[in-house]
Amino acid sequence: MANEVGKKIKHLRNAKNMTLKTLSEKTSLSIGFLSQVERGLTTLAIASLESIAEALDVDLSYFFSLNKKSNKKVMRSYEKEIFRIENNQYIDYHLSRQLKEMEMLPRIQEILPSKPDDEITSYQHQGEEFIYVLEGILTLMIDNQQFELYPGDSMHFKSNIVHNWTNYSNKMVKILTVNTPNNFKCED
């Protein structure tokens, strides 16, 4: 397990163009220790892993998810598990058993209502995103334009355009998203 956690740390750190020195400064863990962790030569205390997760801007669960190998190709609806709850607003579910080997990241995201005066902080990254609204009304901001997407509506765009979404309605919104790059893909 230490080897898998180390690979995930290294992959995510490299994907964020972060050096070991920068990670060391953000976590107060030595460069040598972090290097050993990434190579699977030592284990981590949960407190240290929490510090690394915070520095890499992921939930602690990221390092423990998807460790089980499965020969099953089909993921049944009842097997779907919550992957992450972010800011008590977004609930993410992964829709694949093979995320480590695949380029795309398919997810269902449930978005709880927010206040209309809450500001949407847009961001950008490499890759592409596809969004399909399953339930509710999604407010999508792309390149400083606001769009309302209804059930059955979709949008496909390059992720290097500033974007984000929220739910300004009073009911839950459920969307299917598929995006690249897949940050869960681990290179061996």
Residue 3 has pLDDT above 80, yes or no: no
pLDDT-wise least confident of 42-46, 53-57, 137-141, 162-166: 42-46
* Domain count for the chain: 2
Residue 67 has pLDDT above 50, yes or no: no
Give the CATH number of the domain where residue 24 resides.
1.10.260.40
Q: Is the peptide bond before 113 cis (omega within 30 degrees of 0)?
A: no
Q: Per-residue pLDDT averaged across 30-35, rounded?
A: 92
pLDDT the model gives residue 64: 67
**Sheet containing 154-158, strands listed edge to edge, beginning at the edge strand earlier in sequence:** 82-86, 90-94, 105-111, 173-180, 128-135, 154-158
Task: Say if residues 178 and 99 touch (Cβ distance below 8 Å).
Answer: no
Do 84 and 129 belong together in one domain? yes
**3-state DSSP call for residue 31?**
helix
Domain hosting 55: range is 2-63
